[in-house]
């Protein structure tokens, strides 16, 4: 059977920067980077995450050289064309030992239900190749408010947390989209965003 190898790799990198400052090298990305988005931790303003999609063989972004870089393996992805989101949101889940497969399955099942009910602009569930217990949930953010706090919507993570909590080491880590060039207009996303 003939199989095509992927031409793009997805990565998620975490780094620390002083509060209010972004990594100055984070936007100096190679021309082979297809898209990238930067996120800031909701609970820790010095913690940032960068999600990047790059061509196989591309030079990784500077943050990828850090010890906290993860190659993401897609479990579920849903995208409306064109991507019509005013921002993006990221949630990171860390499964307990021996529960990675169950936690990934719970997130994948939740994603399918959420897509059926809420029809989000974008939704990605992926896990780390290097650390399979790390699971990322990336959403287009007309759904951001629901994902980050308003638990009453159709896109609520309440049902997910009720099912997945026993399989998780800690509560999910929440990240909000941020970009240095959009500080004055946080309702927009960067043209190079995922």
Residues 6+ apart with CB under 8 A from 89: 39, 138, 139, 141, 143, 144, 147, 148, 174, 175, 176, 177
Position 109 in a domain: yes
Position 122 in a domain: yes
Position 102 in a domain: yes
Closest CA to 165 of 89, 88, 115, 110: 110
pTM for this predicted structure: 0.77
CATH code where residue 84 lies: 3.30.70.100
Position 32 in a domain: yes
CB 179 within 8 A of CB 38: yes
Rg, the chain, Cα only: 16
Range among 106-120, 161-175, 179-193 rated most confident = 161-175
Position 187 in a domain: no
| Helical spans, DSSP H, in 13-77 | none
**What are the tens digits of pLDDT across the range 126-185?**
999 999 999 999 987 555 555 555 444 556 788 888 889 999 999 999 998 886 554 444
Instruction: Count structural domains, the chain.
Output: 1
pLDDT at 62 > cutoff 90: no
Position 190 in a domain: no
- Provide the domain limits for residue 173: 8-182
pLDDT at 72: 93
């Amino acid at each position: 059977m003939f199989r095509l190898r992927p031409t793009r790799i997805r990565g998620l990198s975490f780094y620390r920067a002083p509060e209010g400052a972004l990594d100055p090298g984070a936007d100096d990305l190679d021309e082979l980077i297809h898209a990238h988005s930067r996120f800031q931790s909701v609970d820790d303003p010095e913690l940032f995450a960068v999600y990047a999609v790059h061509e196989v063989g591309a030079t990784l972004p500077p943050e990828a050289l850090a010890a906290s870089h993860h190659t993401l393996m897609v479990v579920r992805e849903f995208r409306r064309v064109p991507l019509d989101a005013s921002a993006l949101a990221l949630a990171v889940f860390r499964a307990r030992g021996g529960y990675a497969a169950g936690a990934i399955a719970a997130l994948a099942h939740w994603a399918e239900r959420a897509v059926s009910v809420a029809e989000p602009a974008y939704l990605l569930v992926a896990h780390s190749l290097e650390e399979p217990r790390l699971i990322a949930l990336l959403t287009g953010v007309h759904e951001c408010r629901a994902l980050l706090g308003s638990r009453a919507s159709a896109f609520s993570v309440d049902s997910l947390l009720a099912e997945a909590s026993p399989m998780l080491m800690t509560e999910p880590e929440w990240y909000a989209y941020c970009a240095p060039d959009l500080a004055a207009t946080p309702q927009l996303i960067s043209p190079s965003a995922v």
